[in-house]
Amino acid sequence: MNFTQRWANLSGQAYDQVAGSVSCPAGMKAVSAGGGNANLASVGLTPNGSGAFVVGVLNNPNYLYLPLVADCVPAAQLAGSTSRSVTFQAHTGNVGDYVLFSQTVTCPTGTYAFGGGGYFVDGSGSPTPAGFNMQADTPTADQTGWSFATFARSGVDTMVVTTQCAPLPAPTLVTTPYAVNGSGGGYGNCPSGHVPLSGGASLDPPVLNSSLVYTEVVRNTAPNLSGWYASASTNYPGVVLRVVSQCL
């Protein structure tokens, strides 16, 4: 595949929530979305797959921007791919309480998931910047689906989880765990000679006072390894960050 990246920096004041999107060049589609330098709330591909979006809170007063990246390939290289989505609303605790929204969207038999994500919509179906402290945005272990988790208001907010689905065989999946002691992160490197198609990250256990801070593709020139990078922050003991790369 021929990859092209498009970047945007979303700026604001300390602890502002920022949201935005970036488009692939004409004739190209996105295969992954990434963002960082913030307490991420949601990230993923735009509904038509032509770019990427992100929502997050600028949690570092020294770096008042959120970098957003769309990883793009020629649309012809995704021939046979389809998209899937599932809508979810949590109904635990009291209405309006912030609770974990967690859902997985599954691809049809004979296909694998890549380039997934999640976002929120209002009553009319329009995107809205709800949610905070993202816990998971990752392909499932068997690559048949995509899981997304973040915190939002019970009985109020509505989450949509999306993924792209491509014909088998699936890429090689590399999962690398890291302990998060206050803050931490690391790389999920693809084997030598391989490149990442997509990837993601998750936190275990998912707790309200933890958040993914970075999740994005890493493309290096050989012989340097490529893959996925993620980081997180927490004040909860024993949290593990799992960085996932889907390697071609």
pTM of the model: 0.96
Domain that holds residue 50: 4-247
3-state secondary structure the chain: CCCEEEEEEEECCCCCEEEEEEECCCCEEEEEEEECCCEEEEEEECCCCCEEEEEEECCCCCCCEEEEEEEEEEHHHHCCCEEEEEEECCCCCCCCCEEEEEEEEECCCCEEEEEEEEEEECCCCCEECCCEEEEEEEECCCCCEEEEEEEEECCCCEEEEEEEEEECCCCEEEEEEEEEECEEEEEEECCCCCCEEEEEEEEECCCCCEEEEEEEEECCCCCCCCEEEEEEEECCCCEEEEEEEEEC
Q: The domain that contains 211 carries what CATH number?
A: 2.60.120
In this model, does residue 116 exceed pLDDT 90?
yes
Identify the pLDDT of residue 194: 95
Please state the domain count of the chain. 1
Q: What are the tens digits of pLDDT across the range 55-79?
A: 999 998 999 999 999 999 999 999 9
Q: What are the tens digits of pLDDT across the range 117-139?
A: 999 998 888 888 899 999 999 99
